[in-house]
Structure 1
Amino acid sequence: MLQNHLKHYQIILASQSPRRAELLKQLGLDFSLDCKSVEEIYPKGLKNKEIAIYLSQLKASPFQKEVRNTNKLVITSDTIVCLGNEVLGKPTDRNDAINMLKKLSGKLHEVITGVSLTSSNKQKSFAVATQVFFKTLPITEIEYYVDNFEPYDKAGAYGIQEWIGMTGIEKIEGSYFNVVGLPLQKLYMELMKF
């Protein structure tokens, strides 16, 4: 259904995340992958959702010339983890990953994904937030996860679909898929309106 609605577009997912590619496939879309690297720095003073939207637009900026006068539709996104006013990005090393998970232990945090849809004549950006509640995580569980799974390519040093998510997350309020990397329900609605 969505693919038929967007049949006039050549869809590009600008992401190296295998999780995002899998989620987009599950929406029934045909797309290609093309990721251009940008330095993910945002201006001071932006609030949580503003940061995620800014970063998704920043990732779209290298495609501006490429999409001009074409039928290309580029999907860019960025997921951040917010603990109060602190933004947790991807961990730099083992200690950083352990420290992030210690901070999240026993607390509520917010996972926000900003998405930008960019074509030759318009750009639509939005952000979706999900509340995530972690149980108190023993250090042994944190170290087991960091040493046996892949925390380094994930904001907040965890994947909800991995072991720590299955054993450590007590509940979520909002979109599960948003925490995985793409807010599918909102993305579907916006693509149907694009």
Structure 2
Amino acid sequence: MPKLHNLPKVILASASSRRHELLSYLLSDFEIQVADIDETPHSGEMPEALVSRLANSKAHAIWLKNPDSIVIGADTIVTFGAEIFGKPLSQNDSMTILKKLSEQRHIVMTGVAMFGANKKISTVVRTEVEFTSLSDKQISAYWRTGEPHDKAGSYAIQGIGGKFVKQINGSYSNVVGLPLVETESMLAQMGIHE
């Protein structure tokens, strides 16, 4: 097994503090660089294609500046039927999103991409989440906590928003923003083991 200092540098292309924390469970040493990309969905783009494209675009943008490194890009969205919910634009937007998710099942998808000098791999992980019934009063109170402001689907399962989650089928860490089992497997494929 190669000595650790011979391994390429790993860079997480994400501003998300949740992803930083999750990746720290897998790696003791990595850098953070934020990729500035356009995250607007293309016309008619399906949810899985969107998260895959955004994860790959983030990884690629940072890898171009650090071609000797392994760069991890990730993107998470919430989908309900044909709708895609990113971060809420306003309190009204948050209210609309959470009312739609109330008493319903939705899918959280995270795209993960890794770019290295000789290999590029990516995957999309899906988790089904079922919400309990939410009142307008609960949603307004939740908005005032500040937690939903920068979260896909306008909630954080690992925070206060966890009280809305009745059931989950699949990876919990995927809903937080980085599926740990799949990410560790991808790191191994890239030759990174700890």
Under a length normalisation based on structure 1, what TM-score does the superposition of the two structures give? Answer: 0.91
1:144 and 2:141 aligned: yes
Q: 1:92-103 maps to which residues of 2 (within 5 A)? A: 92-103=89-100
Q: Distance in 2 between matches of 1:145 and 1:4?
A: 48
Q: Distance in 2 between matches of 1:143 and 1:4?
A: 52
1:186 equivalent in structure 2: 182
1:54 equivalent in structure 2: 53
Under a length normalisation based on structure 2, what TM-score does the superposition of the two structures give? Answer: 0.91
SS in 2 for 1:172: strand
The two structures, once aligned, show a CA RMSD in angstroms of 1.9
1:82 and 2:79 aligned: yes
Distance 1:4 1:151, change over 3 A: farther
Distance 1:97 1:132, change over 3 A: same
1:113 to 110, 113, 119: 110
Distance 1:7 1:24, change over 3 A: farther
**Aligned residue-pair number:** 190
Identity %: 39
Gaps of 5+ in 2: none
List structure 1 segments (4+ residues) > 3 angstroms apart after TM superposition. 3-7
Check the 8 A contact 2:113/2:122 in 1, yes or no. yes
SS in 1 for 2:74: strand
The Cα offsets for residues 133-182 of structure 1, whole Å up to 9 and x where unpaired, read as 001111111111111132121110000011122x2110000000000000
2:166 to 146, 164, 170: 170
The offset of 1:99, in angstroms, is: 1.2
2:125 equivalent in structure 1: 128
1:8 equivalent in structure 2: 7
The Cα offsets for residues 94-132 of structure 1, whole Å up to 9 and x where unpaired, read as 111111111111100000000110112221010100000
